[in-house]
């Protein structure tokens, strides 16, 4: 009997150890990927890649750099972390501004095609943050948009001060009309931001609308899909363990990081974009998000587009959809 109890305890301890090891592995795999320290931090290679994929960017960027229009800006967030962004003021003074949010292990440079859309095609001021842990911002891990939503809110305030102060004649009139536009994890971040803007301490009347392109419903749903796709495993018990470890390590868990719950609280306009061939953030995710979001809202399902490739595959149509939607609320 004593031996049986002893072996049961040892077996339970071994199982718990195995689960913890598996949970830590998954947490590191998801939130500390190798690409975070390589691809995201390699700014020179990011520019080269963007010029290769979007050749129209090079003359535009060359002209910006010649006159010193592309600028760096740093802030310190509420947690004492130093964050970086690129920004460009519009050629002609305007109160129209876009804050553009990148995806998983990307950086501000890798969103310059959307910067081009708003700056070159639409005449907006633009600000492109490096999220925590990415690009030239401080940080060691990915926050999957959840804590990033608070940083992006701070960046919108910074953009309002930068561009409003630059072009306004008085303090009373110093405000911008702003769109927040994100792709992939940046789109999830954008939706997470949207749930804060009209509530509590984050009321920001200068934000007029949102554009989300292929964002996930929640971190839990995204990781559950990847766990099955990459490893052929069910969510229990590994995902539950990793989510609990995330709470202990980083102060948030995978279930609470929900774009779906956030969009339910947003009554500002939102354009949803998703490729119908997306398997990384599966296309099905956009439908519950769209249904959960109160009006006004619009949905564009992009034929044949894989993950985060809607602009690359259909640049003219993408530009026209964004121009038409954003133009209704920022004019």
Residues 6+ apart with CB under 8 A from 303: 276
pLDDT of 7 strictly over 90: no
Say if residue 305 is in the same domain as residue 270: yes
Domain identity same for 2 and 125: no
Same domain, 95 and 154: yes
Kindly state whether residues 205 and 246 are assigned to the same domain.
no
**pLDDT tens, position by position, 176-196:** 999 999 999 999 999 999 999
Alpha-carbon gap, residue 141 to 150, rounded angstroms: 16
Closest by CA to 104, choosing from 42, 179, 26, 188, is 188
- Looking at the fold, whether 271 and 288 belong to one and the same domain comes out as yes
Q: Regarding predicted confidence, which is higher, 38 or 166?
A: 38
pLDDT at 201: 64
Q: What is the 3-state secondary structure (H, E, C) of 178-219?
A: EEEEEECHHHHHHHHHHCCCCCHHHCCCCEEEEEEECCCCEH
Model-level pTM greater than 0.75? yes
148 and 223 in a single domain? The answer is: no
The pLDDT confidence band at residue 311, using thresholds 50, 70 and 90, is: very high
| 6 and 92 co-located in one domain | no
Same domain, 92 and 241: no
Token pair 């279930």: residue: 255
Secondary element (H or E) of residue 48? helix 43-53
Q: Give tens-digit pLDDT for 101-111.
A: 999 999 999 99
* Domain extent for 171: 37-218+257-327
- pLDDT tens per residue across span 108-125: 999 999 999 999 999 999
CB 176 within 8 A of CB 96: yes
Residues 142, 198, single domain; the answer is yes
- Picking from 251, 274, 308, the residue at the C-terminal end of a domain is 251
Q: What is the mean pLDDT of residues 317-328?
A: 98
pLDDT at 173 over 80: no
The pLDDT assigned to 172 comes to: 38
SS3 letters across 79-112 = CCCEEEEEEECCCCCCCEEEEEECCCCCCHHHHH
The order of strands in the sheet holding 71-76 is 71-76, 82-88, 125-129, 96-101, 177-183, 207-213, 270-275, 297-302
* Residue 171 scores a pLDDT above 50: no
- Residues 199-255 have pLDDT tens digits of 756 678 999 999 999 999 999 999 999 999 989 999 999 999 999 999 999 999 999
Boundary-marking domain end, from 202, 235, 251: 251
Task: Give, as one character, the DSSP assignment of residue 32.
Answer: S
Instruction: Out of 141-150, 174-183, 201-210, 259-268, pick the least confident.
Output: 201-210
Pick from 176, 89, 77, 179: which is nearest to 131 by CA?
77
In the structure encoding, which two tokens stand for residue 123, read together? 């005449």
**Around Cβ 183, how many Cβ atoms within 10 Å?**
30
Rounded to whole angstroms, what are the CA distances from 79 to 21, 32, 138, 159?
Answer: 29, 20, 11, 20
Are residues 130 and 11 located together in one domain of the fold? no
Which of 233, 251, 269 finishes a domain? 251
Q: For residue 274, list its beta bridge partners.
A: 301
Query: Looking at the 3D structure of the chain, how many domains does it have?
Result: 2
**Better pLDDT: 171 or 70:** 70
Closest alpha carbon to 259 in 204, 215, 214: 215
By the 8 A CB rule, do 280 and 309 touch? no
End-to-end CA distance of the chain: give it in Å, rounded.
79
Mean pLDDT score across all residues of the chain: 92
Per-residue confidence (pLDDT) for residue 19, from 0 to 100: 79
Measured CA to CA, the distance from residue 116 to residue 60 in angstroms comes to 8
Distances (CA, A) of 94 to 117, 145, 315: 16, 29, 24
Q: What is the pLDDT of residue 169?
A: 45
The CATH number of the domain holding residue 201 is 3.40.50.1820
Return d(Cα 239, Cα 22) in angstroms, integer. 9
- Both 100 and 235 in one domain: the answer is no
Claim to verify: residue 174 and residue 279 sit in the same structural domain: yes
């Amino acid at each position: 009997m004593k031996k049986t109890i002893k072996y049961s305890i040892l077996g339970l301890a071994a199982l718990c150890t195995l689960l913890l090891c598996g949970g830590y592995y998954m947490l590191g795999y998801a939130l500390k990927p190798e690409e975070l320290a390589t691809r995201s931090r390699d700014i020179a290679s990011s520019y080269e890649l963007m010029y290769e994929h979007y050749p129209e960017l090079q003359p535009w960027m060359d002209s910006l750099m010649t006159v010193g229009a592309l600028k760096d800006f740093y802030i310190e967030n509420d947690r004492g972390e130093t964050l970086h962004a690129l920004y460009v003021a519009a050629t002609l003074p305007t109160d129209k501004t876009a804050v553009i949010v990148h995806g998983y292990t990307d950086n501000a440079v890798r969103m310059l095609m959307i910067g081009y859309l708003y700056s070159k095609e639409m005449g907006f001021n633009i600000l492109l943050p490096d999220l925590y842990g990415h690009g030239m911002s401080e940080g060691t891990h990915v926050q999957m948009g959840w804590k990033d939503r608070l940083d992006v809110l701070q960046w919108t305030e910074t953009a309002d001060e930068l561009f409003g102060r630059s072009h306004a004649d008085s303090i009373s009139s110093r405000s911008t009309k702003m769109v927040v536009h994100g792709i992939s994890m940046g789109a999830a971040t954008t939706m997470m931001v949207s749930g804060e803007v009209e509530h509590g301490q984050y009321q920001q009347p200068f934000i007029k609308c949102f554009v989300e392109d292929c964002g996930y419903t929640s971190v839990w749903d995204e990781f559950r899909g990847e766990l099955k796709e990459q490893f052929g495993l069910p969510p229990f018990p590994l995902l539950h363990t990793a989510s609990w470890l995330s709470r202990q390590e980083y102060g948030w868990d995978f279930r609470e990081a929900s774009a779906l719950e956030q969009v339910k609280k947003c009554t500002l306009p939102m354009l949803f974009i998703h490729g119908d061939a997306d398997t990384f953030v599966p296309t099905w995710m956009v439908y519950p998000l769209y249904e959960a979001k109160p009006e006004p809202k619009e949905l564009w399902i992009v034929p044949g587009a894989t993950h985060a490739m809607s602009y690359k595959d259909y640049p003219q149509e993408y530009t026209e959809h964004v121009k038409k939607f954003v133009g209704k609320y920022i004019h």
